[in-house]
Amino acid sequence: MSLLLNQTKFFVFTGLFLLATNLFAQNPNFYIYLCFGQSNMEGQGAIESQDSTVNNRFKVFQAIDCPNLNRTKETWYAALPPTCQCYSKLSPADYFGRTMVENLPDSITIGIINVAIGGCDIRIFDKDIYQDYDSTYAESWFTTKVEAYEWNPYQYLINLARLAQKDGVIKGILLHQGETNTGQALWPSYVKKIYNDMLTNLSLNAESVPLLAGEVLSAEGSCCSSMNPIINTLPDTIPTAYVISSRGCAGQDYAHFDSEGYRTLGRRYAIQMLSLIGIKTNYAEPEKSSEGKN
């Protein structure tokens, strides 16, 4: 009987110790943001000299093994671009993080996790029907990217996020997607399901984890600017969603922003996120046009 009692005490003590260790390991001042979408969230902007240094308080949780970058997946690194795939480029996530650390106390560290796939339909991130969209394009440029996320980008992102939650606290979700779904009025409902699934699977609540969704390229001659009015209805479907304007962001082609466009868009994501916690920035915006609500 005494042996059983001692064993019980040992297991209880061990469980409490492990729980306490986990709690103390999680840093409440480490703010983590999940990023997902298609090619603009991957990043297609040229990485220039001004992008080659970064504050060490801005981290990226490496999503895949990248020998060319000397990075191993599931490891935190200083967030030098590329912050998505091994050969992606500058992304709005880059200047989101940089702007966040510039405007937060030195005690706060910012981390991002970026899982994005050029050309994807938003429903590839729907955990129930993703298999219908993991071969939207038969070309290897697409399927190779999906394969890198083990053919299930949603679950891959969730698995990374669960690991990252041991280190910090998820504070928001950033989305840039819509080009492939241009004209689809049901897009906000697709996003709502994915967002709600993320909150449920990661034990998060919407009030403390807002969703920020960026407009697609709106410059003259762009392929998909007609999607922006649909994107701008997202807050009607998700009360904790906020739309980030692409107004004035230049493009390098018909679908992708140029480097400065990514920097501006990334700053806007950060300005919105900072405003939600009561922090104003000095970043000057051009006068607001009538292209849609922000």
Residues with catalytic annotation? 39, 253, 256
- Cα(282)–Cα(267) distance, integer angstroms: 11
Residue in this structure with the two tokens 């990248």, named with its chain if needed: 66
- Alpha carbon 270 to chain centroid, angstroms: 12
Residue in this structure with the two tokens 């082609």, named with its chain if needed: 253
Rg (CA), the chain: 20
- Cα(29)–Cα(268) distance, integer angstroms: 22
- Residue 55, sorted as left (phi over 0), alpha (psi -120 to 50) or beta, turns out to be beta
> CB–CB of 195/163 below 8 Å?
no
For residue 63, which of 94, 84, 90, 36 has the smallest C-alpha distance? 84
Cβ neighbourhood burial of 188 (10 Å; 0-12, 13-18, 19+)? buried
For residue 100, give the amino acid letter. M
